[in-house]
Amino acid sequence: MKLRHLEMTLQHVCGFLRPQAALEQYQTPAPLAARLLYHALMKGDIEGKTVLDLGCGTGVLAIGAALLGAASVIGVDIDERALAVARENAVLLGTEVRFLAVDVREGGCRERIGACDTVVMNPPFGAQKAHADRPFIDLALSIAPVTYSIFNAGSAQFIETYTAQRAKIDEKVGGIFPMRRTFPFHTQDVQEIEVEILRLIRKQ
Ligand code: SAH
């Protein structure tokens, strides 16, 4: 599947019905999701691989990974209502994804989910609750040798320091997250947030 086709297909993924600010529920727009996934595909991290989407929301990254030929895909999220939409999205787009209700902060989730080859994620950036992204990073690195994650632009330095003993950032791709007015504290119809997609490689 070509990048443009992936992007057009992912436009059909339904978003959060009632997004919750406390969980930083922002659906990744199709062009950004397609960009992350296609990049991972080109690096050999999707096709034939077991892929995990942490904080999958309504499933755009998980479903995209399945469309690009992942051997199996799991999406996990704390929010059952988002998972219900994700399940419908997966069926709508003719993909098979296992969706599980998991709080990434809980002990034992690594065992529940099992090991996999690649993590793709757009975790909370920590705008509502400081460091909300940390349990996602910790779990991703404990589960898979390769992680692709979207962060606020300028986060690479912090992530590098935070993961220094465990991983190294081997790539950084810039992107734009056009954030639509979602919550009462948003003042503009669309705010373009600069983001970066990092590829983290676990140290042996
Ligand atoms: N990955 C999706 C959603 C991004 S929004 C997409 O790209 O469209 C961040 C997601 O993280 C939300 O769906 C939210 O419910 C989930 N989340 C927040 N805290 C969580 C936690 N502690 N455990 C699991 N998921 C969590």
> Could you report the per-residue pLDDT of 171-200, keeping only the tens digit for each?
999 999 988 887 888 888 888 999 999 999
Is the Cβ atom of 198 under 6 angstroms away from ligand 1? Answer: no
Q: Side chain identity at 137, as an amino acid letter? A: I
Q: Side chain identity at 127, as an amino acid letter? A: A
Percent of the chain with pLDDT over 70: 100
b/e burial code for range 30-53 (CB count within 10 A of at least 16 → b): bbbbbbbbbbbbeeebbeebbbbb
Please state the atom number of ligand 1 nearest to the C-alpha of residue 150.
7
CA of 120 to the centre of ligand 1 (A): 12
Measuring CA to CA, how many Å separate 188 from each of 44, 125, 129, 154, 192?
Answer: 39, 19, 22, 22, 10
**Predicted pLDDT at 185:** 84
> Could you report the per-residue pLDDT of 5-47, keeping only the tens digit for each?
999 999 999 999 999 999 999 999 999 999 999 999 999 999 9
From 24, 112, 113, mutation site for ligand 1 pocket: most ligand atoms within 8 A of C-beta:
24
CA of 75 to the centre of ligand 1 (A): 10
b/e burial code for range 164-180 (CB count within 10 A of at least 16 → b): eeebebeeeeebebebe
CA of 103 to the centre of ligand 1 (A): 9
Of 134, 162, 143, 46, the closest CA to residue 100 belongs to 143
Please answer whether residues 98 and 76 qualify as being in contact, where contact means their C-beta atoms are separated by less than 8 angstroms.
no
From 11, 23, 99, mutation site for ligand 1 pocket: most ligand atoms within 8 A of C-beta:
23
Query: What's the token pair of residue 11?
Result: 């436009």
pLDDT for 129 beyond 80: no
CA of 119 to the centre of ligand 1 (A): 14
Q: Side chain identity at 204, as an amino acid letter? A: Q
pLDDT for 204 beyond 80: no
CA of 33 to the centre of ligand 1 (A): 14
pTM, rounded to two decimals: 0.96
pLDDT for 97 beyond 80: yes
Please answer whether residues 10 and 124 qualify as being in contact, where contact means their C-beta atoms are separated by less than 8 angstroms.
no
CA of 184 to the centre of ligand 1 (A): 19
> Could you report the per-residue pLDDT of 133-186, keeping only the tens digit for each?
999 999 999 999 999 999 999 999 999 999 999 999 999 999 999 888 878 888
Please state the atom number of ligand 1 nearest to the C-alpha of residue 121.
1
**Predicted pLDDT at 196:** 96
Q: How confident is the model at residue 62 (pLDDT cuts 50, 70, 90)?
A: very high
